Amino acid sequence: MDQTNQRESKTFTDFLRRIFKKVLDGIGGFFNRLGIRPNVITTTGLIGNIIASVFIATGRLFWGGIIAMVMGPLDALDGTMARLRNESSRYGAFVDSVTDRYSEFAIYAGLLVYFIITGTWQDALLVFFAAMGSILVSYIRAKAESLNYSAKIGLFTRAERYLVLIPGIILGYPQISLWILAILSNLTAIQRFWHVRKQAKEDGDIKRRREDSKND
């Protein structure tokens, strides 16, 4: 039996998808009827976040944050459209995940340039730790699932990071958001690491018991 499916947990992102499923289905169905393909939505989200990062890098935090906020729902919409079209695929999910990472790091890049220009190297370092936590949260899950473990847990998945980062940018206090992300994203990465470690230990115990029963 697939160990990953047995140990799969629900995240806040999954909760939001369930809550807004009807809304996303309605919008996704409308776009499908217009002939818009899911990959157009995916590309639009990526380009939009790159534009937002340019605004942020040049000090126009409010407008950069607004653009990033508008692009956020597209993260869920492209997958919804693919599902409604019966075109969901592993490769589509792969492309969606990759573009999501680029979108997220585009915003971090904008903040990094902004802080470098303003001369606050401490805040630039804060961007690094926030981005590092975001990378590790995604990487640990991907690596765990490639080894047939589950790591879909944690306090700060992408939805939580988005809900913390964007308001801080819009209100002009990105440092507050970055402190929260730098701490809680890395704690989430550690949480996922220990979750995988626990599964590995359980697998080892099961294997030993099976070997012992064969020797009896």
pLDDT tens-digit series, residues 146-202: 999 998 888 888 888 999 999 999 999 999 999 999 999 999 999 999 999 999 999
Give the predicted TM-score (pTM) of the model. 0.84
The answer to whether residue 14 sits within a structural domain is: yes
Number of domains in the chain: 1
The answer to whether residue 193 sits within a structural domain is: yes
The answer to whether residue 97 sits within a structural domain is: yes
pLDDT, tens only, 4-47: 444 455 666 666 667 777 888 888 889 888 888 888 888 999 99
The answer to whether residue 163 sits within a structural domain is: yes
The answer to whether residue 3 sits within a structural domain is: no
Residue by residue, DSSP assigns the chain as --HHHHH----HHHHHHHHTHHHHHHHHHHHHHTT--HHHHHHHHHHHHHHHHHHHHTT-HHHHHHHHHHHTTHHHHHHHHHHHTT---HHHHHHHHHHHHHHHHHHHHHHHHHHHHHT-HHHHHHHHHHHHHHHHHHHHHHHHHHTT------S--HHHHHHHHHHHHHTT-HHHHHHHHHHHHHHHHHHHHHHHHHHHHHHHHHHHHHHHHHH-
The range of the structural domain enclosing residue 62 comes to 8-215
Find the CATH number of the domain harbouring 28. 1.20.120.1760
For residue 2, name the pLDDT band (cuts at 50, 70, 90).
very low
pLDDT of residue 215: 65
The answer to whether residue 152 sits within a structural domain is: yes
The answer to whether residue 2 sits within a structural domain is: no
The answer to whether residue 62 sits within a structural domain is: yes
Active site residues: 100
